[in-house]
Chain A
Amino acid sequence: MTALFEVLRGAIASEEPVALATVVEGPGVGGKLLVRPDQEPMGSLGDPDLDRVVARDALGELAAGTTGVRHYGTQGQANEHDVAVFVESFAPPPQLLVFGAVDFTGALARVGKVLGYRVTVCDAREVFATKARFPFADEVVVDWPHRLLERVGDQLGPRDAVCVLTHDPKFDVPAVIAALRTDVGYLGAMGSRRTTDDRNRRLREEGVTDDQLARVMGPIGLDLGARTPEETAVSIMAEVIATRTGRQAPSLRDAAGPIH
């Protein structure tokens, strides 16, 4: 029989969602149940009813991307504290889609990788959109960004980010409109204030509403005074984090309240 560890490692390596439940206190400490959507759980926590309840709860934790301890009775009863089960979710990495194979793209792909994103670079110009230019990207796609979004847009969710860096309205406008149709958590578009105003005007002409425009972070990034591609990448990814956590991103020194 394949060891649980091997199955866990394989699932994580192939970016399949998987959760590992471990009894950390109570009878059968160390018992494990490995849970994946649409598959039979593997292993056992020591009781079939407990296994059934934890498998159900672990799928919930996995869908939410959360990790933590839950308590049960020895046969999975709620509101009892005989058994503590640690459920660790291994959700697939969040996605970062970068549109435009420009100077800033390589640095953004690199910083995205540091933060654990699966990075896709997409540009319709095959001369620029090459794996050799973006070695840090997981995937380089030669296509119009809005066409890529028509294929993969329904996979995007609150943890994911789309950054439009082309600052050419021919590519940007359809890309932003297509991204607005997705549930992506962060949508940013690069460009000076003038480029941004011009793009917003074109987007409105295409029927984009003010509420929809409010989702677009443009000019992209936090106000760090970034100049180089690397600094700009940090400013963009810092804004992605702040958007996800709902923070205004002042310096910690000048804010109050808990750090985490």
Chain B
Amino acid sequence: MREILGDLDRWRKAGKQVAVARVVDVEGSGPRLPGAAMAVNEDGEVAGSVSGGCVEGAVVTEALQIIESGDRRIVTFGYSDDEAFAVGLTCGGTIHLFIEPLDW
């Protein structure tokens, strides 16, 4: 989360609604370690990343829903098989993200 603190702070001060997604667990081969984080603000601006670019698009969608609903939950992404457009990690691992509003 360290790398995105500057963006989080700027968005918070500007009064933006923000959701933060953090990698909490990785099984098998995963590109980023627990603690990797990305954030999305209400305008859809993005900071940071949680994988090698495999799931970031889907995380934006989840994060915008969480900004709307105020929920917090674990979202899991796994291997995407052969389905070319399914969201998943091509490296074969599984990552668990915790996504929550930045209301703390």
Contacts and interface: CB of A to CB of B under 8 A. Distances in A.
A13 B5 CA distance: 9
B49 to A, nearest CB: 16
A4 B35 contact: no
A88 interface: yes
Contacts of B12: 5
Contacts of B29: 258-260
B74 interface: yes
B30 A9 contact: no
B102 interface: yes
B1 interface: yes
A68 B34 contact: yes
Interface string B1-42: 110010011001000000000101100011001110000000
B9 to A, nearest CB: 6
Chain B at the A interface: mostly helix, strand, loop or mixed? mixed
Nearest to A66: B34
Given A29-B72, A86-B22, A260-B29, A4 B2 contact: no
A24 B104 contact: no
B98 A86 contact: yes
Contacts of A20: 1
A12 B102 contact: no
A25 B1 CA distance: 20
Interface in B50-74: 72-74
Which of A8, A69, A89, A260 has the most B CB atoms < 10 Å from its CB?
A260
A88 B35 contact: yes
Interface residues of B, number: 21
A86 B100 contact: no
A174 interface: no
A52 to B, nearest CB: 20
Contact of B24 (A8, A12, A69): A69
Interface residues of A, number: 25
Contacts of B22: 86, 88
Residue in A3, A9, A259 whose Cβ sees the most chain B Cβ within 10 Å = A9
Nearest to A90: B2
Nearest to B35: A67
A9 B5 contact: yes
Given A24-B74, A29-B72, A69-B24, A260 B30 contact: yes
Contacts of B8: 5, 9
B104 A68 contact: no
Contact of B9 (A9, A22, A25, A260): A9
A245 to B, nearest CB: 13
A30 B24 CA distance: 13
A36 interface: no
B74 A3 contact: no
A199 interface: no
B5 A32 contact: no
17 contacts: A3-B104, A4-B104, A5-B102, A8-B5, A9-B9, A12-B2, A24-B24, A29-B72, A30-B72, A30-B100, A30-B104, A67-B33, A68-B34, A86-B98, A88-B1, A88-B34, A260-B29
Given A67-B33, A67-B34, A88-B1, 17 more contacts: A4-B104, A5-B8, A5-B104, A9-B5, A22-B98, A24-B74, A24-B98, A29-B72, A67-B35, A68-B24, A68-B25, A88-B35, A89-B35, A90-B1, A90-B2, A258-B29, A259-B29
